[in-house]
């Protein structure tokens, strides 16, 4: 089976920039998740991060925080999220990743969780509160199965730090576009260009840019600079305001 990086490179040979989208499992419901994913895939999304809700999502802004809490309050369980993931990976043939916080893996049993994710054809993990210093066993278990432990670069990361992170990563690098939490607007200025150059210098892995990507204008701006544009909060907002059927046209209009 090709690795996530190979798969992405293959797709990148046909498209200038890839789209990665995000959703919180169980919010507003698994039913709606299903429809949203269908709309995303049909409109050309290249990979999707499935966020398993956690009660203390410190890296997320108000919108995703609320989605996490509501999903849990409605009774979403980790097991249900895994079963749902199994269903969608079988149905849609694009790479799916798990995004969640470390406690979800820790509580499930690190090795059991990773092995289960492997069995249901998840390609990688984004765990924002697990720096490599704390994630030795995680990195071993993930890499052993040729899965991708996605590493995160931040505008505050030095070149040296980025190199260390990249050495621990696989698949692609998630570059956080700015300070702060998810869901706020990002101004792409000169600082950003300097930051992306630093990211490129640090790694040969594809670069995904997320936080505050909302429009075709943002995606156009990233084209040629990054390999993957990440749409997070925006589709949650869209589903909240206009329902799941609004997702398809939105995604279709981004590229």
Partner 1 sequence: MIKKGYYGHWGGAFIPEILHETFKELTSYFEEVKEDNSFWEEYLQIMSSYSCRPTPLTYAENLSNRFGGGRIYIKREDLNHTGAHKANNVMGQGLLVKRMGKKRVIAETGAGQHGVATATMAAKFGFDCTIYMGEEDVQRQRPNVFWMEKMGATVVPVTDGSRTLKDAINEAFRDWVTNMDSTHYVLGTVCGPHPFPEMVAWFQSIIGLEAREQILKSFGRLPARVYACVGGGSNAMGIFQGFLQDEQVALVGVEAGGKGLTSREHAARLAGSDASPGVAQGYKTMFLQDFDGQMLDTHSVAAGLDYIGVSPILSDLWEKGRVRFTAATDTEVMEALELTMRNEGIIPALESAHGFVQAFKEAADLDSDEAIIINMSGRGDKDIFTIANAYGDPSWKEFIIERAEQYRKG
Nearest to residue 96, comparing CAs of 58, 151, 52, 141? Answer: 52
Question: Which residue in this structure is represented by tokens 């589709």?
Answer: 235
Catalytic residue among 49, 218, 227, 234: 49
User: Distance (Å, rounded) from C-alpha 153 to C-alpha 207?
Assistant: 10
User: Distance (Å, rounded) from C-alpha 214 to C-alpha 193?
Assistant: 18
Q: Which is nearer to partner 1, 72 or 139 (CB)?
A: 72
Q: Which is nearer to partner 1, 45 or 65 (CB)?
A: 65
Q: Is 218 a catalytic residue?
A: no
Q: Is 101 in the site for partner 1 (CB under 8 A)?
A: yes
Q: Is 196 in the site for partner 1 (CB under 8 A)?
A: no
Point out which span in 7-15, 26-34, 103-111, 118-126 binds partner 1 (CB under 8 A). Answer: 103-111
Q: Is 104 in the site for partner 1 (CB under 8 A)?
A: yes
Q: Is 35 a catalytic residue?
A: no
- Smallest gap, in angstroms, from Cβ of residue 157 to partner 1? 6
Instruction: State the distance between the two ends of the chain, measured CA to CA, in whole angstroms.
Output: 29
Q: Is residue 148 exposed (0-12), middle (13-18) or buried (19+ Cβ within 10 Å)?
A: buried
- Smallest gap, in angstroms, from Cβ of residue 43 to partner 1? 31
Nearest 10 degrees: CA dihedral of 218, 223, 224, 228? 100
- Smallest gap, in angstroms, from Cβ of residue 167 to partner 1? 14
Q: Which two three-digit tokens encode residue 15?
A: 């498209």
- Smallest gap, in angstroms, from Cβ of residue 135 to partner 1? 9
Binds partner 1 by CB under 8 A, chosen from 139, 154, 166, 246? 154
Q: Is residue 56 exposed (0-12), middle (13-18) or buried (19+ Cβ within 10 Å)?
A: exposed
Q: Tell me which residues touch partner 1 (CB under 8 A).
A: 53-59, 61-62, 65-66, 69, 72, 77-78, 101-104, 106-108, 128-131, 133-134, 151-158, 161, 165, 176, 179-181
Question: Active-site residue numbers?
Answer: 49, 60
């Amino acid at each position: 089976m090709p690795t996530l990086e190979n798969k992405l490179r293959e797709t990148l040979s046909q498209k200038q920039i890839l789209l990665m989208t995000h959703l919180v499992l169980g919010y507003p419901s698994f039913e709606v998740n299903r429809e949203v994913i269908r709309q995303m895939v049909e409109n050309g999304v290249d990979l999707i991060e499935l966020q398993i809700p956690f009660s203390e999502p410190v890296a997320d802004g108000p919108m995703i925080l609320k989605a996490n809490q509501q999903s849990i309050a409605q009774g979403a369980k980790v097991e249900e999220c895994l079963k749902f993931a199994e269903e969608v990976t079988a149905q849609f043939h694009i790479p799916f990743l798990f995004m969640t916080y470390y406690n979800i893996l820790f509580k499930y049993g690190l090795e059991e969780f990773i092995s289960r994710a492997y069995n249901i054809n998840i390609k990688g993990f984004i765990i924002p509160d697990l720096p490599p210093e704390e994630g030795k066993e995680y990195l071993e278990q993930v890499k052993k199965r040729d899965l991708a432990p996605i590493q995160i670069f931040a505008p505050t990361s030095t070149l040296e730090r980025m190199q260390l992170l990249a050495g621990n990563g696989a698949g692609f690098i998630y570059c956080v576009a700015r300070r702060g939490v998810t869901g706020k607007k990002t101004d792409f200025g000169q600082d950003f260009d300097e930051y992306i150059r630093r990211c490129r210098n640090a790694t040969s892995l594809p670069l995904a840019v997320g936080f505050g990507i909302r429009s075709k204008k943002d995606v156009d701006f990233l084209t040629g600079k990054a390999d993957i544009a990440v749409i997070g909060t925006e589709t949650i907002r869209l589903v909240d305001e206009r329902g799941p059927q609004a997702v398809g046209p939105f995604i279709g209009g981004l590229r």
